[in-house]
Structure 1
Amino acid sequence: MKGIIVAAGYGTRFLPVTKTIPKEMLPVVNVPSIAFIVDEFVKSGIEDIIIISSRRKKVLEDYFDREIELESVFEKEGKLDRLERIKPPVNVRFAFVRQQRMLGTGHALLQVKELVGNDACVVAYPDDLHIGEPPLAAQLMASWRETGCSVMASVYEPGDVSRYGVLDIAADGKHVRAIVEKPSRGTEPSHEVSIGRYLYTPEFFHYLAEGWERHEGGEYYHIYALNKLMNEGKVVYRRLSGQRLDTGEPEGYLDAILRYADTVPSLRKVLDSYMTERKGSIVKS
């Protein structure tokens, strides 16, 4: 099983900071967003991780490499806790592939087709982070072992789903027949909303290449290949267990920071202190 992280985009919703800093390196407190996904992969037993980046994102490669000078400083000073924080993941093989032209996520994934080979793979988009146990990738892998199918991650949204891609689920309650993008309120086929985490069987890349041959220009997405698999009854869904952090926009990013901070006792104290202060100022006003 391989893990793929699609991290080649410009991140324009976060300008001006993403003028020079990749969005995937924006920290959730002190942990870069992309590190959450790598940690999820590692905890799920994935040892081969492919990161699709672009020319402006060499810092991603540097982050997952050793920092010899800093390691030496911490070793001399006996600061073993800090030394541990900067160590790259052990027993993980990273490969970095650049998407040289921004032609969509389907085109990006085609750049790693040969590296994936005949393995299944978990594909992650850094806008969707997960905290909780078991790791999300492990949840998808469990569904794949049960069914042999490609797996889509979803969350259940009880309210209005007209802003999302919504899953049309087969009568067996497992297979996905289609994705309905932004259905009008009252016409939604379900309340299972697709999120940016997939497990693809090797045939996905066959269809991805087939769709690219027929593509007539502009950005190319993974939907063609996914639709082919859904039409053959080879896609199931897995409702996320745990907490999803949606960092795709500044508002969601701030929400993610607060939710993550609430899981860390030392940071929760800061949140509690702020809320107490905030309530006090409201009462006084």
Structure 2
Amino acid sequence: MHLPAIEPGHVWLAGAGPGDPGLLTLLAAKGLAEADVIVHDALVNEECLKLARTGAILEYAGKRGGKPSAKQRDISLRLVELAKAGHRVLRLKGGDPFVFGRGGEEALTLIEHGVPFRIVPGITAGIGGLAYAGIPVTHREVNHAVTFLTGHDSSGVVPDRIDWDAIGRGSPVIVMYMAMKHIGQIAANLVSAGRRADEAVAFVCNAATAEQTVLETTLGRAEADMVAAGIEPPAIVVIGEVVRLRPSLDWLGALSGRKLLPDPFAVDRKDTA
């Protein structure tokens, strides 16, 4: 099997997946083994960084809400600086660089300065992280569509360009990144759009890591239960009937001895297969 190599003066914008180092792609692992400089985010598992070659420089460029962090423009220009100095650069992000990872912004800066780059997709937390919680983002008994959205915009508030009424009416499953801070307002927006207050919701914190925790609640109680449970970011929030499948599909819990429950949709299924 032939895989490309990082060339001097090039940048790879790579996703590390949602947490478990086993979810790294072969290309991302190869990038770690070859890069001279690895510029990594806060959400990259430290076990992934142990795959860096001896002598590689690790530069932290994490951005966490409400905490001091580097400005995005400075991070992008740092990638340019490192590449122009002839380094083989791996920009490693949690999840996927193009799913709320600002990889597009960094790539456009590289283009602006004539720096060659490669995109190395990763498993996004909104799919892989939920799978580790036993929650499928699609299930034929529940949904034929899913919406991915962010809970805040660049100014830190709930995005006003999201058509909450349309999403509330039209998307049976909603997966939200960075939504904990504003979950009360988001829940109110969706209930106003016609969603049931008793609709199933799950918070998946530290997905696909040894610290993973899952809170199951409802749309109407999401904020209060989140506060009472004391959970903290990072977390993926999912809304929809797919959450009801977790007791049946919690494979991580089953590996620890927890008994899986029957399929909750079995009594309603009219199988045509």
TM-score of the aligned structures, taking structure 2 as reference length: 0.30
**Structure with larger RCO (C-alpha < 8 A, sep 6+):** 1
TM-score of the superposition, structure 1-length normalised?
A: 0.29
- Greater fraction helix: 1
